[in-house]
Amino acid sequence: MSTTSSGVRLPPVAELAVASIVMMLAGGILLASRIPGRPDYPLSIALVAVGGAITVVDLVLLLRIRPFAWATFRLVLRWALLAYGVISALLVYVFAINHTPGSTMAVLVVTLVVFAVDVPTILAFTVARFAPPDGAPATPLAEPAP
């Protein structure tokens, strides 16, 4: 386990999110590699489900961290969610434009939603773990040079 700047031991939030991303990518590649034939839905859905479950566990572990720089976490999360939400929406648009079958589209949308949660979580967590926890005294400002 890693620690925050104040020495609080942290669960493997980033590592679990990366594991989930690996599941999402594997599921997506499996779907794409079978076109135009019938995709391997059971395996793809299983990968997405496992990845989604890892993400849920990850978020539960994250939310239990105390103390933590939650203000910093939320700041980064907000903007990262916007950025990766836009990217995910663009990908959904491309799949829709290409008349992706409904069942495949459903799996891809779930994949992208989980992906759009995982990446901002990693970004926000990595920044926040090095920030002073909420309520801790801020690092004193340096005095101006003479």
Partner 1 sequence: MTQQLAGPPAGATGAPPGLIRPEFDIVPRGGLPIVGVALVGLAVAVGTNANWAVDFFHVVGGGFWTALDLFLGFVLGPILGRLSIPARVELTTRLMPKMLLIMPTLVTCTLVAGWQLAKESGNILSTSPNHGWVVASMIVVAVMAVVALGVLEPANLAVLFELKKPQPDGQVIASLMKRFIYSAGITGAMQVATLIIMTRLATR
Nearest residue to 1 (alpha-carbon basis) of 85, 65, 74, 82: 65
- Compare residues 24 and 45 and give the one whose CB is closer to partner 1: 24
Q: Is 35 in the site for partner 1 (CB under 8 A)?
A: yes
The counts of H helices and E strands in the chain are 4, 0
Residues 100-119 interacting with partner 1 (rule: CB under 8 A): 119
- Compare residues 62 and 123 and give the one whose CB is closer to partner 1: 123
Q: Cα separation of 107 and 138, whole Å?
A: 45
Q: How far is the CB of 97 from partner 1 (least distance, A)?
A: 6
Residues 50-89 interacting with partner 1 (rule: CB under 8 A): 72, 76, 79, 83, 86-87
Q: Cα separation of 133 and 76, whole Å?
A: 15
Is residue 52 within 8 Å of 17, Cβ to Cβ? no
Chain-centre distance of CA 109, in angstroms?
15
Taking CB under 8 A as the criterion, the residue among 7, 37, 42, 102 binding partner 1 is: 37
Q: Cα separation of 45 and 64, whole Å?
A: 29
Contact residues for partner 1, defined by CB under 8 A = 5, 14, 17-18, 21-22, 25-26, 29, 32-37, 72, 76, 79, 83, 86-87, 90-91, 93-94, 97-98, 119, 122-123, 125-127, 130-131, 139-145
